[in-house]
Amino acid sequence: MPALTVSAANSGVKFGCQTNAWKATIRDFATLMPVLKRIKEFAFDGFEASFRYIQDRFTDARAARAALNRTALRFFGVHIFLLNYDPQTSIAPAELYRKVADGGALLGAERLILSGAGLIRDGLLDREALNRKCDALNTAAQYARSKGLKTAYHNHGAEFVSGGAEMQGLLSGTDPALVGFILDAGHARRARVDVAGFLRKHHRRLQGVHLRDLSDRPGDNPELGPFDLAALAAAIQKTGWDGWLIVEEEDAVNKRGDAAVEPARQKLRDVFKK
């Protein structure tokens, strides 16, 4: 039986790429522009970037936004990932996310993307911490909306341990009108989550899916070869989901930049015919 293919043009799905696969310099916006040029040349619709690569232009945004506009790429979102989060809220401190939302809006970003600390303690979900985290996400999303931005929470592995208790808590504890989600399919797959099934069940909350093929071995991150894109395409076709599929080949083993992104882009082209 032939593999299922989906016309991305007909489905409304957009393709994006994280900038992390290529080398850019933190706090040096100029080094990001050649990266965006390559993303455009690979026929992506948009890009996602860490706040660290654009923060030097938050106070001088006009020329930077003009440069971004010239790429003809949509700025899918600006992402705040930290090694240490606010211990009370388990997400970025309010001062930081407000600064990033302000600057991101000036640069034309469409959404604020937040990651956070995991809440499983000794195999159990810390319910009080979950309530604080959900409240903080709702508050952050209200602020982002005041700046014209959507908000999405991006998981890592912690949200799916212990049967995905934290992820379920975040889905039920945040306001659907304010907080969406970006499913990191690599981390979800490593946690034995049915990625296509998750999309079928929660597609109304999903703004995007990060695609990378994290294997069972930490540090071994092959491109999208073994990832079941056909099952994901079937789920997209069934639900009519029209969000973003975002290539996140930031640490494929022994491959960076073009060498990591090109085969992943070809896999998307094979399945989605775009």
Position 39 in a domain: yes
Which pLDDT belongs to residue 5?
66
State the burial class of residue 41 (Cβ atoms within 10 Å of its Cβ: 0-12, 13-18, 19+).
Answer: exposed
Report the alpha-carbon distance of residue 81 to residue 114 in Å, rounded.
7
The 10 Å Cβ neighbour count of residue 176 is 10
CATH number of the domain bearing residue 143: 3.20.20.150
Position 2 in a domain: no
Could you say which DSSP state residue 73 is in? -
Report the alpha-carbon distance of residue 9 to residue 14 in Å, rounded.
8
Q: Which residue range is the domain that position 98 belongs to?
A: 8-272
Give pTM, 2 decimals: 0.93
Position 69 in a domain: yes
Position 24 in a domain: yes
Look at the chain and report how many structural domains it folds into: 1
Report the alpha-carbon distance of residue 112 to residue 84 in Å, rounded.
18
> What's the rounded mean pLDDT across residues 88-115?
98
Enumerate residues 6+ apart whose C-beta is below 8 A from 245.
Answer: 13, 14, 15, 16, 208, 209, 211, 268, 272
Q: In the beta sheet, which residues pair with residue 206?
A: 181
Position 1 in a domain: no
152-202 pLDDT, tens digit per residue, is 999 999 999 999 999 999 999 999 999 999 999 989 988 899 999 999 999
Q: Decide if pLDDT at 226 tops 90.
A: no
Q: Of the given ranges (45-49, 105-109, 160-164, 209-213), which has the lowest mean pLDDT?
A: 209-213
Where residue 1 falls among pLDDT bands split at 50, 70, 90?
A: very low
Enumerate residues 6+ apart whose C-beta is below 8 A from 56.
Answer: 27, 28, 29
Position 198 in a domain: yes
Which pLDDT belongs to residue 215?
52
Position 13 in a domain: yes
Position 243 in a domain: yes
Q: Decide if pLDDT at 213 tops 70.
A: no
